[in-house]
A = this chain, B = another copy of it.
Amino acid sequence: MVRLNSAARSLIESGPLAHLVTLNSDGSPQVSIIWVGLDGDELVSGHVATDQLKMRNMARDPRVSLSMESSVTNDDGLREYLVVHAKVRLTDGGAPELLHRLAQTYIGPGTKFPPMPDPPPGQIAHYRIAKITGAGDWVDND
């Protein structure tokens, strides 16, 4: 398994929007923006709606990518970014609790999320990292 270094973990914990790429049944790419968090050496995301295209795609083909913009700009004026290539697995339940936790970073402290009164348990997507790319020092050479 590939491990995130401290710079990559800091970026993820700062609440960057993650562009999640899944694969449609015809092999073409599908993209949605989601919130992500860390769970040990994996990334996780919560989904109260489990019938969406991205959820069906992830259940069928676990090859996904997550790309996130950094706030750091290099000497040529280009923004750094992190791309995590992962194998995803879905587990039932826990989505509202995870989303509530992430909302404290992505929206702000004290946020109630999801906004609806009785959200369904949904699913959690667990991303096991296979490869890290992008632009930035995301891999420690030690």
Q: Which residues of A contact B (CB under 8 A)?
A: 17, 19, 21, 23, 27-33, 63-65, 67, 69, 76-77, 79, 81, 83, 85, 103, 106-107, 111, 113, 115, 133-135
| A-B residue pairs in contact (CB < 8 Å), sample of 5 | A17-B81, A23-B29, A69-B69, A77-B103, A77-B111
Chain B residues near A69 (CB-CB < 8 A): 17, 33, 69
Query: Given A19-B19, A21-B21, list of 10 further CB < 8 A pairs?
Result: A17-B69, A17-B81, A19-B31, A19-B67, A28-B63, A28-B85, A29-B63, A29-B65, A30-B65, A77-B103
Q: How far is the CA of A81 from the CA of B113 in the complex (A)?
A: 20
